[in-house]
């Protein structure tokens, strides 16, 4: 019977199924980032429920072995200085394993963070050197590598293509270099040689074994000597392959360019500016940390020496949350640098997983029935000795998670915790972003001529004093008068003229006193972005026209159109000149779509979602028709919106 069902499903799977077209948003936040979250009642209720779940399913559940591990978890946002939720657990048995560390875990308890160190390394590099040399070959900056190149005699299977390995490839796992030299993974430092021989490994001359590794660790000269003997895993940029050694070399490049030791760079560039007083490049005093055993057995006190830049650091949950906030806020970097940093570099075998610098990137769907609504988590996990860790940031929702554990937790505890947090907080934050967008932007916007005078009983629906609407697609701007100090033929300026336009003084074009222009925005519970349900420009159905123009629709097809206009945040905003208390203009980009017909199944060269191709596809007198700029008062209330191509200010009336 089971085989029959499988066969039936195989047949059905090849039958094309029709489905309504879904909106195709622009990549990025689907709504403005949610704010004022700390006192939000929805999030308070979620936090209480999550806390109960952790107590019941981890702390108080004997099957988890919670007597033998401790952990700290925080959920943070870039818009608040305090965590949205936090939870700390101390293993009841901790006192029997160690007496030199903390007796109770809290936000300041220091853990080893392993490979999360790589985030500090890349951030330090970006803040001191920048990403302008990402494409430089490392031979340009490391003379030891250049020397290896000169001495190399082997072929490409045994000798890395050092001159093609770039600085950026070191940060993105794309260098093709082997994982480590002797520190981790070298069996001769982990298992007795006699036992290795009995397992089938051949006896070798002593000179073939690394002279250093986990204990004693290698110095810089030994490390480069070892690198000269190691084969590559792949050619540079062939495929992502995890390499700790790449981040060591990245730190060496930063040291050579700045003339400062890596520890000093991290401290001066990241730790002090962010006031990370419970984060350390080297082992801090035992009294600050959670140590579930001896210093050696837990690897609390074991130094990675020359490989510190890849995994040696220590931090508290509170400090890692502060680091995550700084990344979301772009505190230490220019925003453009942060945006470049929070992008993928390479694909993996999992189509939902990508690789960044040094991020593991995961696509998370927001709606099970909406293909194109998703966010990406940028995360890094770490594991060293008795410690496991995870830091994740989600830029599209402005949130992140910190998870630190010590002791003997169940396999995959940190990722399981992060998974539970993502399943809870991602949909909650998406809901709040949608709700706040509805409260802020939804409503009706009209030209001043349509507003009800305070001394009149005329309704908005009255047309007794209006001129007849112009023919379809006519524009009244031609009848407007514009004066400039330089040329009578200068085009009209918008209400958001650039502040650096000093050569001319342009007045706004006059408009008829009965201009029939309006806009209605809603936010629905399923589809993305701000939904423009009605859009008139001097009597013309501009939603229909915009979709027709964007899709090159002929007049005969107009009656068949199912126009959709949705607005998405651009990340562009500016202060309103001379406004008291911080008024601002915020730009949105419209996507003009025809949702008639059924969805088109994706093919090898066909997609039903390519909104990025149509951006600014329709322009009128150098102004995009898809550019909407909202005026927001200091109190956060939207006052008006301007479509820049139409150059008419519509006031929000409800």
By annotation, the residues acting in catalysis are: 115, 242
Q: How far apart are CA 160 and CA 154, in angstroms?
A: 9
Return phi, psi of residue 214, to 5°. Answer: -70, -40
| Residues whose CB falls within 8 Å of the CB of residue 94, separated by 6 or more in sequence, listed in order | 70, 103, 290, 292, 407
Q: How far apart are CA 52 and CA 46, in angstroms?
A: 10
Q: How far apart are CA 224 and CA 264, in angstroms?
A: 22
Q: How far apart are CA 337 and CA 257, in angstroms?
A: 19
Nearest in space to 15 (alpha carbons), one of 601, 564, 617: 601
Is 582:634 a contact under the CB 8 Å cutoff? yes
Q: How far apart are CA 442 and CA 520, in angstroms?
A: 7
Q: What ranges in 28-187 are assigned the alpha helix state H?
A: 41-54, 94-97, 117-128, 143-151, 167-171
- State the DSSP code for 1: -
Nearest in space to 66 (alpha carbons), one of 405, 551, 353: 405
| Residues whose CB falls within 8 Å of the CB of residue 106, separated by 6 or more in sequence, listed in order | 72, 88
Return phi, psi of residue 378, to 5°. Answer: -110, 110
Return phi, psi of residue 419, to 5°. Answer: -60, -45
Query: What SS3 string covers 551-599?
Result: CCCCHHHHHHCCEEEEEEEEEEEEECCCCCCCCEEEEEEEEEEECCCEC
**Within a 10 A sphere around the Cβ of 56, how many other Cβ atoms?**
10
Q: Which two tokens stand for residue 601?
A: 């199944």
CA atoms within 13 A on the CB side of 647: 21
Is there a cis peptide before residue 105, judged by omega within 30 degrees of 0? Answer: no
CA atoms within 13 A on the CB side of 580: 0
**Within a 10 A sphere around the Cβ of 196, how many other Cβ atoms?**
16
Say which residue the tokens 């593991």 belong to.
360
Nearest in space to 448 (alpha carbons), one of 514, 496, 539, 493: 514
């Amino acid at each position: 019977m089971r085989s029959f069902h499988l066969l039936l499903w195989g047949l059905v799977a090849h039958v094309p199924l029709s489905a309504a077209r879904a909106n195709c948003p622009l990549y990025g936040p689907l709504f403005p980032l949610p704010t004022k979250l700390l006192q939000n009642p929805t999030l308070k209720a979620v936090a209480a429920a999550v806390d109960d779940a952790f107590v019941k399913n981890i702390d108080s559940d004997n099957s988890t072995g919670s007597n033998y591990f401790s952990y700290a978890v925080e959920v943070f946002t870039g818009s608040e200085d305090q965590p949205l939720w936090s939870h700390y657990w101390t293993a009841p048995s901790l006192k029997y394993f160690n007496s030199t560390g903390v007796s109770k875990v809290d936000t300041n308890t220091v853990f080893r963070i392993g490979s999360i160190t790589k985030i500090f390394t890349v951030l330090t590099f970006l803040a001191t050197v920048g990403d302008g040399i990402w494409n430089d070959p490392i031979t340009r900056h490391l003379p030891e590598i250049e020397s290896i190149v000169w001495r190399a005699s082997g072929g490409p299977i045994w000798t890395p293509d050092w001159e093609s390995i770039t600085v950026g490839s070191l940060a993105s796992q794309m260098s093709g270099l082997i994982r480590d030299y002797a520190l981790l993974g070298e069996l001769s430092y982990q298992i007795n040689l006699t036992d290795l021989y009995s397992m089938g490994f051949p006896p070798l001359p002593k000179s073939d074994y690394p002279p250093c590794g986990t204990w004693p660790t290698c110095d810089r000269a030994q490390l480069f000597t070892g690198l000269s003997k190691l084969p590559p895993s792949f050619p540079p940029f062939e495929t992502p392959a995890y390499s700790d050694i790449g981040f060591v070399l990245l730190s060496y490049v930063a040291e050579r360019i700045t003339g400062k030791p890596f520890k000093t760079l991290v401290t001066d560039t990241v730790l002090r500016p962010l006031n990370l007083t419970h984060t350390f490049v080297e082992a801090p005093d035992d009294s600050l940390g959670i140590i579930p055993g001896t210093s050696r057995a837990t690897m609390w006190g074991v130094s990675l020496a020359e490989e510190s830049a890849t995994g040696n650091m220590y931090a508290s949950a509170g400090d890692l949350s502060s680091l995550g906030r700084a990344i979301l806020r772009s505190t230490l970097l220019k925003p453009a640098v942060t945006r470049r940093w929070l992008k993928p570099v390479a694909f993996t075998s999992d189509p939902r997983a990508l690789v960044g610098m040094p991020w593991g990137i995961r696509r998370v769907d927001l709606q099970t029935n909406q293909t194109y609504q998703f966010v990406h988590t940028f995360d890094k996990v770490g594991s060293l000795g008795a410690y496991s860790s995870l830091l994740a940031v989600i830029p599209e929702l402005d949130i992140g998670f910190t998870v630190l554990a010590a002791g003997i937790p169940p396999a995959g505890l940190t990722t399981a915790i992060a998974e539970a947090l993502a399943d809870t907080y991602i949909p909650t934050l998406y809901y709040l972003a949608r709700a706040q967008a509805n409260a802020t932007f939804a409503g009706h916007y009209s030209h001043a001529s349509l507003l009800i005078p305070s001394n009149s009983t005329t309704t908005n629906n009255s047309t007794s004093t209006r001129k007849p609407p112009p023919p379809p697609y006519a524009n009244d701007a031609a009848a407007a008068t514009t004066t400039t100090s330089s040329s009578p033929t200068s085009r009209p300026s918008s209400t958001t003229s650039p502040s650096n336009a000093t050569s001319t003084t342009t007045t706004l074009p006059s408009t008829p006193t009965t201009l029939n222009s309006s806009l209605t925005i809603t936010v629905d519970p399923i589809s993305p972005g701000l939904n423009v349900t009605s859009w008139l420009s001097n009597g013309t159905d501009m939603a229909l026209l915009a979709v027709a123009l964007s899709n090159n629709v002929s007049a005969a097809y107009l009656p068949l159109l199912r126009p959709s206009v949705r607005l998405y945040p651009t990340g562009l905003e500016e202060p309103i000149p001379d406004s008291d208390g911080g008024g601002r203009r915020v730009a949105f980009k419209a996507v003009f779509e025809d949702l008639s017909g059924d969805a088109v199944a994706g093919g090898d060269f066909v997609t039903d979602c390519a909104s990025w191709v149509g951006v600014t596809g329709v322009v009128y007198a150098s102004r995009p028709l898809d550019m909407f700029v909202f005026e927001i008062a200091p109190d956060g209330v939207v006052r008006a919106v301007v479509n820049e191509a139409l150059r008419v200010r519509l006031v929000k009336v409800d």
